[in-house]
Structure 1
Amino acid sequence: MMTIGHLLTGGLGNFGSGGSPTVINNYITIPAAVAQASIIAGQITIVRGDTLAVALPLMGDISARTKLTFTAKRKEADSDEDAMIQVVEGVGLTRFNGDDDVTASDASLVVVGATVGHATLTISGGITAQLALRDLIWDCQYVTPTQVSTPIGGGLGVVPDVTRATS
């Protein structure tokens, strides 16, 4: 069983074969299998040609990091050198469409709360305009003196801009 506090209100319905939830002191207890199935990886949508500025999901305490990297690829088996987008904290854009001939200032990864792992990813509209419409996968990995950890990841969709007029 998993207990979640102060997240749900109102009618709770049936949570499947694991049974109905029990509400106790403003907390809800649900079967662990239901809780696991409800975890959704971070989905990022880039509108081609628009500047992306997105708060990434919280990573937990990353204050001991020596490096933080956001990487988006076509598939997990692709090498980092083949990354469609790679952004390193304090450096900027390091790879785009599998190439390292990039302008670092076209993207940034900024930590705004290290103890909770709050970071913001920004990618310029000039870069997103060059992306092919497709689905990618992404993760964010940090390195400390004693470990490498990849606490968050998910899907990244590149979608077309519908409105073409700019003035």
Structure 2
Amino acid sequence: MDQQPSHAPFRLFRISPAPFGKQAFAICAAFRDHRSDLKSECFVLMQTSVTDGLAFGTRFSYSDKTDGQSPFVIDEAFALDDALHQAETMYSVRAQELDQVFMEKLAWARPSFSEIAQHRLVGIWAHTPLSDSLLSIADKSGCEPLSQFIYSLRALPKFTQTQLLPF
């Protein structure tokens, strides 16, 4: 019998504040590849305008072989937490490059990564210009549950938005 992992294979985070006054998200995943090697991935999605966005990401490999002397357990939970830490670093560097003025105003504040439910990817898919970026993530990810979840979004009907009162 296969043992189920004790954690979700991927986690979704809303990042705030975000450059350009738009939205930013991070997706972190941990999994074992076909050789049972431990991997993690982190992807950052940033909306840069009403019609544009960008995404970037990295994969990490871990040796989970320890000599028994280490107090650390290198497992999927560790890899997922490490992926979040790496996403925080990548986001800070890229946000600084993209919007120098924005980041100078917030030099005292560290961006906050707030976990949100995985199904919120539906809203990101439907209400932001990040759907192509999500498909790129699905194409590149080695985390099968993440890729399958994103690909399943293609079957959704289009959402529309009608402004009822001016902002």
Shorter-chain TM-score tier: under 0.3
Bigger CA radius of gyration: 1
More strand by share: 1
Task: Tell me the TM-score normalised to structure 2 length.
Answer: 0.27
